Amino acid sequence: MTDVEIGPQGIRLGQFLKYAGAVESGGEAKTVLEAGEVRVNGEIEPRRGAQLHPGDEVALGDRTWRVV
């Protein structure tokens, strides 16, 4: 698991995927989200605009990131 510092106000899931290096573009983020490949706190999350907060865990494939 990799910790990714985003600050106290949170970040949207699509932005987080790009910031963490999980995807290279917003289009790629949209594709993996629509395909049900992204999990937030163990649940499939298809919304790019889902708000993440410190402590949330995001998984894509065999990689996991924790929002801090």
Report the CATH number that the domain containing residue 35 is assigned in CATH. 3.10.290.10
Identify the pLDDT of residue 34: 96
The identity of residue 43, as a single letter, is E
The sign of the torsion formed by the CA atoms of 45, 29, 64, 12 equals negative
Q: Name the band, by pLDDT with cuts 50, 70 and 90, for residue 7.
A: confident
The parent domain of residue 54 ranges over 2-67
Question: For tokens 């594709």, what's the residue?
Answer: 31
User: Could you tell me which residues are beta bridge partners of residue 52?
Assistant: 11
Question: For tokens 């649940």, what's the residue?
Answer: 43
Number of domains in the chain: 1
Pick 7 or 6 by higher pLDDT. Answer: 6
Identify the pLDDT of residue 9: 84
What the block records as the tokens of 67 is 């929002």
**pLDDT one-digit tens code per residue, 8-66:** 788 999 999 999 999 999 999 999 999 999 999 999 999 999 999 999 999 999 999 99
pTM to 2 decimal places: 0.92
